[in-house]
Structure 1
Amino acid sequence: MSAPIQWQKSTFSGGGSSEDCVELATADTAIRLRESERPTAFLTAAPASLRALLSTLKAGRLASR
């Protein structure tokens, strides 16, 4: 039996008990991200893929449609 996933609230999501936040968890070799308002829906990504996405977003290189 696997251990339950331990979600951690982002420090950028503000303080208190607000439900408007992003949470993350590590699971095996993947990182999971979710929005607190929808805890059953989450994104799973390899660390390198997530790092590449975040770098692209920070640099403003994501094309809008």
Structure 2
Amino acid sequence: MGSGSARPEDNFLNAGGHSIKAMRLLALLDEELGVTIDLVEFFENPTLRGLTALVRLELSGGEL
């Protein structure tokens, strides 16, 4: 968290993330991109790759 670089497979929790940081991140995504990501969905695959997939799914209206 805050290390400056992240790889797509890096795990949010292993990098020092926790539920409060996740909620802040998801709120920022909602504010900046207008996407609503469920906390439980994020924790099912807490990687940058997983989050990107959730954002893309939300932006596409739920259709891949």
The structure with more strand, counted as a fraction of residues: 1
Normalising by structure 2, what TM-score? Answer: 0.31
Q: Tell me which of the two structures has the higher relative contact order, counting C-alpha pairs closer than 8 angstroms and 6 or more residues apart.
A: 2
The structure with more helix, counted as a fraction of residues: 2
Normalising by structure 1, what TM-score? Answer: 0.31
Larger radius of gyration: 1
